């Protein structure tokens, strides 16, 4: 299969409307999309990614009015979240409409819905006839793609079209809140922090899947995730030195220790989030064996960074 690369949201939507798979930029990470109502196209996503079929997909809509095309009743908690955080890096899980094929929801009675704020994503979704089911645009188990070249590296030749855009500004996948249960449940941390969610919904609970080492609640949580080839070493502060003979890398907020072959000192947790997955891939390209990652404070987006680091480390 040849992958057509374009800068035109309208052209990319043409591919999608004809039943083909299209990767597109969003503010969190790149997505690999297909028409939510076309099970054959959706199957193409699972094949291209090598994704297990019991892992449901998030459905993307251009604006909140279109949520009713895939979800049933929108309850009070969901309404509050939509008003405050849509469009943006938040996915809400709702009871699904019967029109949503089982391959999208992996047989669950619910569907995850997100409305991206990225202008190219928004234009693209506006040209699509139906909502767009899309997981992150990476080979299953690898770090999510935050730029179009990485999407091409992972999926070139396996997908029909790639809509090219800028690097994702957030760099980590959306926050997921399950609104089909009462009280609402945080399933995955992201740029919309638990602190800001609880300002709106103080009763919100945090799923144990968001806690390192705990059993999965969201189907996607049980798989090895976000992993580079190198061994991930989690540290609270920089090590005094790196082991001899093994090329090592450093990423964190503190000053870089001596002897790192690759290193990134981030000015803020936001920058850390934006560059993390790209850094993992750079390290792989340079044959790094160990990546020392500094755990940021557990607040704001720091919670999401910690979550991805623990998962990448295989916890
Ligand atoms: O930022 C994002 O969310 C990106 C962009 C492309 O929108 N998408 C993304 O998709 O990260 P993916 O497939 O890599 O992760 C989706 C996660 C999985 O862990 C999946 O299990 C969970 O969402 N999920 C999807 N539908 C669900 C549902 N109905 N109930 C519980 N979890 C669900
Ligand atoms: Mg993913």
Cβ partners under 8 Å of residue 142, min gap 6: 154, 226, 227, 228
Residues 25 and 168 in one domain: yes
Range of the domain at 122: 4-206
Final residue in a domain of this structure, among 153, 171, 206: 206
Q: Copy the structure tokens of residue 181.
A: 């249960």
CATH at 248: 3.40.50.11030
Q: Cα(29)–Cα(50) distance, rounded to whole angstroms?
A: 18
Q: Could you tell me how far CA 61 lies from the centroid of its own chain?
A: 16
Atom of ligand 1 nearest to the CA of 55: 21
Chain segment 286-303, per-residue pLDDT in tens? 999 999 999 999 999 999
Residues 197 and 270 in one domain: no
E strand or H helix at 175: strand 175-178
Ligand 1: list residues with CB < 6 Å.
26, 28-29, 31, 55-58, 91, 93, 105, 108, 110-112, 114, 134-136, 173-174, 176, 187, 218-221
Residue of 36, 173, 185, 192 with the most ligand 1 atoms within 8 Å of its CB, for mutation: 173
Instruction: Give the residue whose CA is nearest to atom 20 of ligand 1.
Output: 220
Residue of 36, 70, 112, 210 with the most ligand 1 atoms within 8 Å of its CB, for mutation: 112
Please indicate, yes or no, if residue 223 is contained in any of the structural domains.
no
Q: Report the range of poorest mean pLDDT among 122-131, 195-204, 225-234.
A: 225-234
Residues 112 and 254 in one domain: no
Confidence of residue 245 (pLDDT cuts 50, 70, 90): confident
212 phi and psi angles, rounded to 5 deg: -50, 135
Instruction: Give the residue whose CA is nearest to atom 17 of ligand 1.
Output: 220
Which DSSP string do the residues of 98-166 spell out, in sequence order? TTS-HHHHTT-SEEEEE----HHHHHHHHHSSS-EE--BSS-TTSPPP-SHHHHHHHHTTTSSEEE--P
Residues 33 and 114 in one domain: yes
Cβ partners under 8 Å of residue 94, min gap 6: 67, 71, 72, 73, 74, 75, 78, 110, 111, 113, 179, 180
Give me the number of domains the chain comprises.
2
33 Cα: distance to centroid of ligand 1 (angstroms): 12
Chain segment 1-47, per-residue pLDDT in tens? 999 999 999 999 999 999 999 999 999 999 999 999 999 999 999 99
88 Cα: distance to centroid of ligand 1 (angstroms): 14
Residues 145 and 196 in one domain: yes
Please indicate, yes or no, if residue 186 is contained in any of the structural domains.
yes
Please indicate, yes or no, if residue 214 is contained in any of the structural domains.
no
Residues 192 and 235 in one domain: no
Residues 274 and 149 in one domain: no
Residues 202 and 236 in one domain: no
Confidence of residue 73 (pLDDT cuts 50, 70, 90): confident
Please indicate, yes or no, if residue 215 is contained in any of the structural domains.
no
Residue of 144, 219, 225 with the most ligand 1 atoms within 8 Å of its CB, for mutation: 219
Based on the number of CB atoms within 10 Å of its own CB, is 275 exposed (0-12), middle (13-18) or buried (19 or more)? middle
Residues 243 and 173 in one domain: no
Q: Near ion ligand 2, which residues have CB within 5 Å?
A: 136
Q: Is the dihedral of CA 56, 62, 65, 69 positive or negative?
A: negative
Please indicate, yes or no, if residue 225 is contained in any of the structural domains.
no
Residues 13 and 152 in one domain: yes
CATH at 132: 3.90.870.10
Residues 54 and 165 in one domain: yes
Residue of 56, 85, 109 with the most ligand 1 atoms within 8 Å of its CB, for mutation: 56
Q: Cα(175)–Cα(187) distance, rounded to whole angstroms?
A: 8
What's the count of helices (H) and strands (E) in the chain, helices before strands? 9, 15
Report pLDDT for 256.
Answer: 87
Atom of ligand 1 nearest to the CA of 144: 14
Statement: residue 218 has pLDDT above 60: no
Residues 153 and 268 in one domain: no
**Which is more confident, 214 or 164?**
164
Report pLDDT for 243.
Answer: 79
């Amino acid at each position: 299969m040849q992958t057509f690369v374009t800068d035109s949201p309208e052209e990319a939507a043409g591919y999608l409307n004809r039943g083909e798979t299209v990767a597109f930029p969003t503010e969190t990470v790149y997505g690999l999309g297909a028409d939510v109502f076309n099970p054959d196209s959706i199957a193409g996503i699972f094949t291209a990614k090598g994704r297990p079929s019991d892992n449901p997909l998030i459905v993307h809509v251009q604006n909140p009015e279109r949520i009713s095309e895939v979800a049933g009743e929108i309850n009070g908690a969901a309404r509050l979240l939509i008003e405050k955080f849509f469009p943006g890096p938040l996915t809400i899980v709702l009871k699904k409409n019967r029109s949503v094929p089982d391959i999208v929801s992996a047989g669950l009675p619910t569907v995850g819905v997100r409305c991206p704020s990225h202008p190219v994503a928004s234009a693209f979704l506006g040209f699509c006839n139906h909502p767009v089911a899309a997981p992150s645009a990476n080979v299953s188990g690898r770090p999510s793609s935050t730029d179009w070249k990485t999407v091409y590296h992972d999926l070139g030749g396996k997908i029909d079209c790639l809509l090219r855009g800028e690097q994702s500004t957030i760099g980590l996948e959306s926050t997921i809140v399950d609104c089909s249960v009462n009280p609402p449940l945080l399933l995955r941390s992201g740029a919309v922090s638990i602190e800001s969610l609880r300002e709106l919904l103080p009763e919100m609970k945090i799923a144990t899947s968001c806690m390192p080492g705990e059993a999965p609640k969201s189907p996607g949580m049980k798989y090895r995730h976000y992993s580079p080839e190198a061994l991930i070493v989690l540290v609270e502060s920089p090590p005094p030195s790196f082991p001899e003979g093994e090329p090592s890398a450093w990423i964190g907020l503190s000053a870089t220790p001596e002897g790192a072959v690759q290193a990134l000192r981030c000015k803020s947790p936001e920058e850390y989030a934006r560059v993390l997955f790209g850094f993992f891939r750079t390290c792989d390209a340079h044959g790094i064996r160990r990546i020392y990652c500094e755990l940021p404070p557990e607040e704001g987006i720091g919670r999401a960074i910690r979550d991805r680091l623990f998962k990448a480390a295989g916890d």
